[in-house]
């Protein structure tokens, strides 16, 4: 196990807009700036009804680094129209990222209950390949986020770093890489080696943090803030940094519990937990 360096300021802290779900993108950008947070990852729902280029300008005006747009993906389908629709939506996401000025899109790759995961993985690789030319045109990176195996039924057929690396190997494109989220991968006995490989191949594009609660009351919306659960976040960050990664540490917490509380208090807790437990 590597020893992690300490985090001493919030310059590399990025918060996902979904983490402070009750806030609009305008509220989020003001609150994050006021809190001295370095970066923001914008979820697409937060851009609905907005002039996206203008939101990008507002973020840049505040010196908030736009880390990524969340999320594209959901490529698999049992029907031809479904497959095409997914590709169109991912092209739209690429155009949105370009308008916003986000350098990267996170991909939750998708799965269809009952369809063999192998088939879904093939559709995912084909889907990414189909949108890579547009990504190239706008210079937008696409980051496959391996999802925890408990989401293999309907959210992603890519459930380990190894599986994500395999798809990236097939795509073999400098804009196709991986977003590593501790929540999804912490349990993997092969984690250190896979992070090493990901770095070696210049495809470790993003790093997400949160914690795993014991017990976990809900499969989707019971993530913990760093330090509330059992994940060795500093240990995994050390593996990530050993590859040369110097990007943001993105806090992505889905939590009915935290969302029901005062979000200013929550943001303060995020900042503290970031320094103490990340």
214 in contact with its own copies (CB under 8 A): yes
Query: What is the distance between the alpha carbons of residues 123 and 250, in angstroms, rounded to a whole number?
Result: 28
Q: Which of 219, 260, 261, 264 binds its own copies (CB under 8 A)?
A: 219
Selected binder of its own copies within 187, 244, 260, 265 (CB under 8 A): 187
Between CA 261 and CA 278 the distance in angstroms is 22
Torsion angles phi and psi, residue 259, rounded to 5: -65, -25
Q: What 3-state DSSP class applies to 109?
A: coil
Query: C-beta of 80: minimal distance to its own copies in Å?
Result: 21
141 φ, ψ (degrees, to nearest 5):
-80, 145
Q: Judged by CB under 8 A, does residue 198 bind its own copies?
A: no
Among 216, 238, 242, 257, binds its own copies (CB under 8 A): 216
Q: H or E segment at 31?
A: helix 25-34
Stretch that binds its own copies, among 4-12, 75-83, 153-161, 255-263 (CB under 8 A): 153-161
Burial 53-64 (b: 16+ CB within 10 A, else e): eebbebbeeeeb
User: Looking at 58-66, 100-108, 115-123, 262-270, which segment touches its own copies (CB under 8 A)?
Assistant: 115-123
Q: Which of 28, 77, 163, 194 binds its own copies (CB under 8 A)?
A: 163
Measured CA distances, 197 to 75, 183, 246 (Å): 25, 19, 16
Name the pairing type of β-strands 223-224 and 211-212.
antiparallel
Q: Which stretch binds its own copies (CB under 8 A): 52-60, 97-105, 123-131, 214-222?
A: 214-222
Q: Are 60 and 269 in contact (CB under 8 A)?
A: no
* Least CB distance to its own copies at residue 62 (A): 37
Structure token digits, residue 150: 């408990």
One of 8, 80, 114, 246 touching its own copies (CB under 8 A): 114
Choose which of 65, 96, 181, 188 interacts with its own copies (CB under 8 A): 188
The residues of the shown chain that bind its own copies, judged by CB under 8 A, are 1, 113-114, 116-118, 121, 148-150, 152-154, 159-160, 162-163, 186-189, 212, 214-216, 219, 229-230, 232
């Amino acid at each position: 196990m590597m020893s992690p360096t300490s985090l001493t300021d919030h310059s590399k802290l990025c918060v996902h807009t979904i983490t402070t779900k009750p806030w609009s993108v305008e509220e989020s950008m003001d609150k994050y700036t006021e809190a001295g947070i370095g970066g923001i990852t914008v979820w697409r729902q937060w851009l609905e009804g907005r002039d996206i280029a203008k939101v990008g300008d507002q973020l840049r005006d505040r010196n908030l680094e736009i880390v990524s747009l969340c999320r594209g993906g959901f490529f698999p389908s049992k029907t031809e129209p479904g497959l095409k629709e997914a590709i169109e939506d991912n092209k739209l996401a690429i155009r949105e990222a370009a308008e916003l000025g986000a350098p990267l899109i996170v991909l939750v790759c998708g799965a269809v209950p009952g369809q063999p995961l192998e088939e879904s993985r093939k559709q995912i690789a084909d889907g990414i390949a189909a949108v890579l030319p547009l990504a190239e045109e706008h210079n937008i990176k696409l980051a496959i986020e391996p999802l925890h195996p408990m989401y293999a039924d309907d959210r992603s057929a890519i459930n380990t770093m190894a599986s994500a690396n395999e798809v990236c190997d097939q795509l073999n494109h400098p804009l196709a890489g991986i977003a590593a989220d501790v929540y999804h991968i912490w349990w993997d006995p092969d984690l250190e080696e896979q992070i090493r490989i990901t770095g070696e191949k210049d495809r470790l594009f993003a790093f997400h943090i949160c914690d795993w609660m014991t017990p976990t009351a809900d499969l989707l919306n019971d993530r913990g803030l760093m330090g509330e659960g059992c994940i060795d976040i500093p240990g995994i960050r050390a593996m990530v940094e050993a590859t040369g990664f110097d990007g943001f540490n993105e806090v992505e917490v889905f939590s009915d519990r935290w969302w029901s509380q005062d979000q200013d208090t929550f943001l303060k807790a995020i900042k503290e937990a970031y320094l103490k437990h990340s």
